[in-house]
A and B are shown apart, each in its own frame.
Chain A
């Protein structure tokens, strides 16, 4: 696996985590847990944006793997 695809996999996992957290926040009927899940989702969201930039950067560096 190239570095680019590794980071892409990680990016996908982070997206998955964010989605699962939002499901959990919607499912729970406990205000405390909901807040915790929402806050964590915010944190993960920041990480996601950071990684998105990194994925684009790597895609530019390794154009030969982009097909």
Chain B
């Protein structure tokens, strides 16, 4: 067998083997690897590189060493899943570097983390003042996780006590001009509904590049022809506007009429309608 055929056979078989090994090891992204997994990856790659570029060492040598470098990390990972102590030993523990707003100098020293490194990591999180930090942990991957003090955290709807309507992921129902039946069925809608909605928008399905339906059943589309203007869903904003208009009308009638009885009716209903608006407005936005 000529040398080049041997090389080709080695390259193909080791490539397949390396692919399977890395898959079985469940390799994460490069930045998420701990040091052990990182070395394993490099060594496996190195073994393959040596055996596909020269014929000096026999193929089975490579297979043996690759197998060992595969099975040991595999077992380590297996036992890490079972035992917390083992996991701490192999993958490292996260270490608290700032607690209650105070820097833990000893822990920094243990991790060989200098003050500059700490400041750099904090700046990476857009924090320029150590006093703004309540709690910070150095993860085994070398990343710093930071919890800012309460007043420095971004404001959320919860802080403001605003009740928001629940939101679910939208379903893509049209792709490249073709309806997708499974997502439609997930929303308990049918193709006839889709046709009706498209007709309302005055577009044909062949012209739709992408169409999505949100959890309220509102369809939004993107067309191939970008010159065409498509109406955005108006049903819900329109409803809210109509409700507000009616409420204003009722108030107006209440002011305009001189009949005491009618005034009461209008006022009562105006209040009722205002209640209804408050009740539903967060769902209509």
Contact = CB atoms under 8 A, between A and B. Distances in A.
A50 interface: yes
A16 B243 CA distance: 10
B280 A37 contact: yes
Given A36-B280, A43-B276, A27 B242 contact: no
A6 interface: yes
Interface stretch (B22-30, B72-80, B245-253): B245-253
Interface size class of B (residues with CB under 8 A): 20 to 34
A21 B215 contact: no
Interface string A1-22: 0010011001001101100110
Contact of B245 (A13, A30, A39, A57): A13
Contact of B236 (A24, A29, A43, A51): A24
B166 A29 contact: no
Given A28-B215, A29-B187, A54 B265 contact: yes
Contact of A10 (B216, B239, B246, B276): B246
Nearest to A14: B246
A7 B215 contact: no
Interface in B179-209: 187-188
Chain A contact residues: helix, strand, loop or mixed? helix
B268 interface: yes
Interface string B244-279: 011001100100110000100110110011011001
Contact of A43 (B216, B249, B275): B275
Contacts of B188: 29
B92 interface: no
A30 B168 contact: yes
Contact of B216 (A7, A27, A47, A57): A27
A24 B276 contact: no
A50 B243 contact: no
A46 B276 CA distance: 11
B121 to A, nearest CB: 40
Contacts of A37: 280, 283
Contacts of B35: none
Nearest to A51: B269
B165 interface: yes
Interface of B: 165-166, 168, 187-188, 215-217, 235-236, 238-239, 242-243, 245-246, 249-250, 253, 256-257, 262, 265-266, 268-269, 272-273, 275-276, 279-280, 283
Interface of A: 3, 6-7, 10, 13-14, 16-17, 20-21, 23-24, 27-30, 32-33, 36-37, 39-40, 43-44, 46-47, 50-51, 53-54, 57
Given A3-B257, A36-B283, A40-B279, 4 more contacts: A28-B216, A30-B168, A33-B283, A43-B273
